[in-house]
Amino acid sequence: MMIVRRVWHKLVRSSTPRFLCPYPAPALLRAPKLPFTGYTNNSINIKIESKVGWRLFSSQALADGGMSGRIVDVPLAQTGEGIAECELLKWFVKEGDEVEDFQPLCEVQSDKATIEITSRYKGKVAQFLYVPGDIVKVGETLLKMVVEGAQVPTQKHDFTENIISHCSEGEVNKSKTCGVLSTPAVRHLGKQYDINLNDVHGSGKDGRVLKEDIIKHAIQKGIIKDSSGFENADSGDQFLRGEEDYSYVSAELGSQPGDKTIPLRGFQRTMVKTMSMAAKVPHFHYVEEINCDALVELKESFQNNNTEPAVKHTFLPSLIKSLSVAISKYPWINSRFNEDTMEVILKGSHNIGIAMATPSGLVVPNIKNVQSLSILEITKELLRLQQLALANKLNPEDITGGTITLSNIGAIGGKFGAPILNLPEVAIIAIGRIQKVAHFADDGNAYPVSVMTVNIGADHRVLDGATVARFCNEWKQLIEKPELLMLLMR
């Protein structure tokens, strides 16, 4: 026993202090019981709090968020393959709120889908680092939380010092707001004018930076020339209403009325990328008119015999199913081109995408395995996708994996359009509205016909004009004679 004690004394004296000793620790060094993780290379951080006492913890424990009572970072996790950043749409919680495990914290939108971010911890929201409208890269900290069991400081000044102690120099330079008491809307306003909130004198309680402080500082620096529009503002409510106002902050504060700078987000950013790539692909268009008299009668028959009030029958599901049957005869229309290997992949599944205009931009969800679905099943799936698209709730699975696209411009009112490829697909079809036009019989007499114009855009690296023309004739025949469609459906 004496030998062990002597060896232990040598270790304690010769090594760096570990705040461990073989005898009872002095009262000054006593701390709450903490799990011992062994001898590691992690540095030992000491935090002195007059109200809590001494606390000893390793930097690894803080990073992992496993230490109860500590402020932890909640990062933006990987929301899908190939996604590097997301737009923050809205917060479901407020600073100071208590949250449970797996409780939704916020909603973000990538270029593929809208996703809810849930909490990994049970605790209290300490600070938001982003406001709705900001672009957050995967891995960056969305907010800071005090995990369950922590004694949350009652004074905001103490909280500010707590935040400062956990902010690295790089984080301070990046956000320019670390340790400054302010609301997310005020921080966003400062970001709009590239103002370091640490340079702004806060006139609020405990030095809180208010909207008026930002405006006053901007006027002093010459960033804002005319302040008359803000002095009469109702205590800055126009900046605190919600995320729908953030897009117009720069326009309202600028000296050039009428000009608005609106950054492209989410699906709009995706459209920029895909259309820019598609413009580099050689493609051609094939236009044809289709007699839809039989299609009109078929749709009316479906609606008259409808036994499900929630289901509304339209022309589109029959067009989708007939398209799938035509693809079965011309599989090259439903393919992808691999430019690196100079190979064409004929897709077995008919995942037909439907271009939809939503408040968030153009999105193309697709109906999976149309070749195996009935017209009624297609109708229900189409309704589901439309509802999710309008609510901005589409899943990544709904948007990825498409093999060919239909763009129904006729639903808006256009006769025909020249669609651009939705890469890596090799074909896209724009269908115009069905309208009554006069046709002439062989004897010269005119008669009304319901006509729809279709425009097929095709990748000329894979498809030629003759193939597209034969495919279109097949599809046209199935639409004009639905009995053939019934005969060929499986």
Instruction: Please give the Cα distance from 387 to 395 (Å, whole number).
Output: 12
Side chain identity, residue 124: K
Is residue 283 among the annotated active site residues? no
Q: Which of 288, 302, 290 shows the shortest CA–CA distance to 449? A: 290
The 10 Å Cβ neighbour count of residue 73 is 16
Annotated active-site residue in 97, 245, 285, 460: 460
Strands (E) located in 240-399? 283-291, 335-338, 343-346, 352-354, 356-358, 361-363, 366-367
Among the residues of 41-103, which ranges form H helices? 59-64
Strands (E) located in 25-80? 44-49, 53-58, 71-75
Instruction: Please give the Cα distance from 71 to 160 (Å, whole number).
Output: 12
- Residue 332 tokens, joined: 């090259």
Is residue 459 among the annotated active site residues? no
Annotated active-site residue in 101, 199, 226, 464: 464
SS3 readout for 102-155: CCEEEEEECCCCEEEEECCCCEEEEEECCCCCCEEECCCEEEEEEECCCCCCCC
Residue in this structure with the two tokens 């492209």, named with its chain if needed? 264
Instruction: Please give the Cα distance from 104 to 101 (Å, whole number).
Output: 9
Residue 443, judged by CB atoms within 10 A of its CB (0-12, 13-18, 19+), counts as: exposed
Pairing relationship of beta strands 404-408 and 352-354 according to DSSP bridges: parallel
- Tell me the three state secondary structure of residue 402: coil
Residue in this structure with the two tokens 């279109």, named with its chain if needed? 472
Give the DSSP letter of residue 370.
G
* Residues involved in catalysis: 460, 464
